[in-house]
Every structure is written in C-alpha cells, then in structure tokens.
Amino acid sequence: MTMKFSNLGISKELESLLNKQRIEKPTDIQQRAIPIILKGKDVIAQAQTGTGKTLAFMLPILESINPENTNIQALVITPTRELAIQITKEVKKLISAKDVNILAAYGGQDVKKQLRKLKNNIHMVIATPGRLLDHIRRKSIDLKSVKMLVLDEADQMLEMGFLKDVEKIIHKTSKTRQTMSFSATMPKEIISLSSRYMNKPVKIHIKSKNVTLDKIKQVVIETTERQKQDALCNYIEENRPFMAIIFCRTKRRVKKLNGILKRHGYDSDELHGDLSQAKRNRAMKSFRDLKTQFLVATDVASRGLDIDGITHIFNYDITKDVEGYIHRIGRTGRAGETGVAVTFITPKDKNTLKTIEKGIKAKLERQNS
Ligand code: AMP
C-alpha cells in the first residue's frame, strides 16, 4: 500500500487539495514529522529545502488551527522576505479547505496596511524577525495566544545575526506553545536555543542527501577572474539555458554582472538586499512569469525559493561552504525536473572546491572555458 497523507492524520479535504497539485505521496520528512507534530510534540528537524519540509509543518498546523478562535494561533519565522512570501503562497493554495486567515509580515511592506490586516482576525502569521519585532514594539501584534511556533531555516537566521531577535519574539508567545525548528545544519547555537525553548523535542534527521541533487548535472568550469565574464557568456551562447539564476558573492558584483549581461542583449535582472522590497518583488515576479531569463543574485535567492522551470544555476562566484553550494544548486532540478549547475572556479578557488566535493562526496566534471 502506498503511503498517503490521510494515513498520517491529514484530513481528506487537505489531501484532495494536495492531490490536485500532484502532491500525492508524503516525503520522508513529512512521513516522520506530521504524526509527531499532530500529537503536539516539539520537533527539532534537520532537513534541507527541497525535502518537502514546508508542508511537513504547514499541514499539521492547518489541521490544528481553530478558525472560530480569532487569535493568532500559529507563527512561522523565516530569515528572508522571499521565503516568507513563498511559504505564504504555498499555504494559500491549501486554505480553501479551511477558513484560515494568514498575514505575511516582512520588511519593506506598507506597515499601515499590515496593521489594518492585523485587526482582521488573523490565525497565522508568517514573518521575518525584524518586521515582527517592529509590530511587537508598536503593540500592533499580540502573540500571547500563539500555540504553534516554527523557526524555519534556523541556521540561516543564526548566520544573519537574527537569533537574539528570535529569542525576544519567543518570549512574547505562550509558554505552553509547541515549538518546531527546521534547519539544514545543526550548529551548536541552534541546539542550545532548542534546549532552552523546547520541551523534550523529538529529533528528526533527514539524511543530507537532498532529494533534488540526484537530478542535477554538476559541472565545473576552470577559468580566471579576468576571463570569467567571457566564460559565462560563451557557456550561455553554446547551451542556451531556458531560465537561470547566476549567483555572485557581493551586491556590487551582482549589479556589475547584470549590467554587462544587459549590454550584451540578454534578458536579465538583479536581486540583492540593496533593492527596495517593491523592486525585489517585481524582480521575482517577472522571473517567475518567465519575463526575465536570467536572474543575477546574491545568496538572498539561495534558500528555500521554489520556482518552476529553472534549468541552470551558475555559481559565477563559488560559495564558501558546501551547505551554501547545496542550497544554491537546489534551486534547479526541482519537482521532478532535471537541472544543470555550473560553477566557475579561478585558481584561488581550488581549495574551496575540494571542500565542496568532499562535502557532497563527488568529484565534479571539469570543463575548460
Ligand atoms: P520544500 O522543501 O518545502 O521547499 O519543498 C520543495 C518542493 O517540493 C515544493 O515545490 C513542494 O510543493 C514540493 N513538495 C512538497 N511535498 C511534496 C510531496 N509529498 N510530493 C511532491 N512534491 C512535494
């Protein structure tokens, strides 16, 4: 018998909405986490994006929310605005099964509009830490009745220096809440945070083999800093990627490379933290809608984002560690498609590449530029 969502305790209504999206068989993390979360237990899960972790916490949360109760019952904290938007989109596809109101609160949005919405009977908030603290300071949000709290991509929140903010937020929620943390890696700070704020958490570890990595062809192009631009343009000319994200190390390098690609006549755009939220949203929308073919980005775009049709990921600048590498290339090869990840390396990147190869336990195919 194949496993179904209803076998895990998910209602037929939600199951049928999932099936309409061709989501039929629960993934490993879903099979393990859903029954535990439904029982009300705290969970500390190590799982990467691409494993289906969003639904692993979202489905039991939707099951547990009481629409008649007009208080905020669930809170999901995410490190980036993009991830908050994406999770909100994913859950909105499911709320026709249940009358649940959701507020996405992230920086750059109109605060007044958010405040008006907050008066409106919100059951679930999906937010970045900064914006949430803003609302807490203005006393425009009351988290006392939050009984389910999710820290998504906890290790990235740590990396971005948000842990203190997250702790302040946790203190505003109910002491009897259920707490869940999802993280690709488990640095000691996250383990310590969990032991302070969780009650006998169940630990779930989904092996770091990312479900999507198998479907990604990974290639390394050896080049030099001076020749990188030409190497990229040559690759694009020869292989004609349908849709690609090109990752650079810094905002400056993103802006510069996007300018160059545009001058070459490519249909490209940029995404990084210096842009206003409206511009970031526009860039993402036009990429999703296939109006932009190449999105040049910093790591703002590497976590969690799930966009259909990305055929290529370019590491124009290599990442400094294996986790970052997996996150970036996991933007392709999603939901049953295949993808290509191309990493440009200069002589000074050789040791970093070795570390990455060790981390993913594979030697990558080399090509000369
Ligand atoms: P996540 O790891 O939450 O970022 O999810 C990655 C992608 O997998 C999203 O596009 C989900 O819609 C999709 N997904 C989640 N669960 C399943 C499933 N059980 N079967 C097929 N696709 C899924």
Question: What is the rounded (10 degree) CA torsion for 204, 206, 208, 209?
Answer: 180
CA of 51 to the centre of ligand 1 (A): 6
* Highest mean pLDDT: which range of 89-103, 212-226, 301-315, 328-342: 89-103
Atom of ligand 1 nearest to the CA of 48: 2
DSSP state of 222: E
* Percentage, residues of the chain above pLDDT 70: 94
- pLDDT (tens digit per residue) in 153-171: 999 898 888 999 999 999 9
Token pair of 348, please?
């000074």
CA of 54 to the centre of ligand 1 (A): 7
* Distance linking the first and last C-alpha atoms of the chain: 50
CA of 52 to the centre of ligand 1 (A): 4
Res 78: pLDDT = 95
Q: H-type helices in the chain, by residue range?
A: 12-20, 28-38, 53-64, 81-92, 111-118, 129-137, 154-159, 163-171, 188-197, 228-239, 251-263, 277-288, 322-329, 350-360
- pLDDT (tens digit per residue) in 19-33: 998 899 999 999 999
Return the H-helix or E-strand segment holding 148.
strand 148-151
- The identity of residue 298, as a single letter, is T
Residue 328 has pLDDT above 90, yes or no: no
Give the Cα separation of 239 and 70 in Å (integer): 54
Mean pLDDT, residues 202-213: 70
Which residue's CA is the closest to the ligand 1 atom numbered 20? 23
Res 337: pLDDT = 63
Q: How confident is the model at residue 203 (pLDDT cuts 50, 70, 90)?
A: very high
Atom of ligand 1 nearest to the CA of 304: 4
Which residue's CA is the closest to the ligand 1 atom numbered 14? 52
Mean pLDDT, residues 258-270: 95
Residue ranges and CATH numbers for the domains of the chain are 5-205 (3.40.50.300), 216-368 (3.40.50.300)
- pLDDT (tens digit per residue) in 304-327: 567 778 899 999 999 988 888 888
Contact between 185 and 154 (Cβ < 8 Å): no
Mutate to test the pocket of ligand 1, among 20, 27, 88 (most ligand atoms within 8 A of CB): 27
Q: At what angle do helices 12-20 and 53-64 cross, to 10 degrees?
A: 150
Q: CA–CA distance from 179 to each of 123, 195, 279, 300 (Å)?
A: 17, 11, 34, 26
Which residue's CA is the closest to the ligand 1 atom numbered 21? 23
Residue 232 has pLDDT above 90, yes or no: yes
Residue 95 has pLDDT above 60, yes or no: yes
Which single residue is written with the structure tokens 């692993």?
A: 56
Residue 107 has pLDDT above 90, yes or no: no
Mean pLDDT of the chain: 90
Res 1: pLDDT = 66
Q: Do strands 294-297 and 268-271 pair parallel, antiparallel, or not at all (unpaired)?
A: parallel
Contact between 103 and 122 (Cβ < 8 Å): yes
Mutate to test the pocket of ligand 1, among 5, 18, 23, 94 (most ligand atoms within 8 A of CB): 23
CA of 166 to the centre of ligand 1 (A): 26
Token pair of 46, please?
């190590």
Contact between 363 and 357 (Cβ < 8 Å): yes
Mutate to test the pocket of ligand 1, among 55, 76, 93, 305 (most ligand atoms within 8 A of CB): 55
Rounded to two decimals, the pTM is: 0.69
Ligand 1 shell residues, CB under 6 Å: 23, 25-27, 30, 49-55, 304, 306, 335
CA of 119 to the centre of ligand 1 (A): 32
Q: How confident is the model at residue 215 (pLDDT cuts 50, 70, 90)?
A: confident
Q: CA–CA distance from 281 to each of 56, 64, 91, 132, 286 (Å)?
A: 26, 31, 18, 19, 9
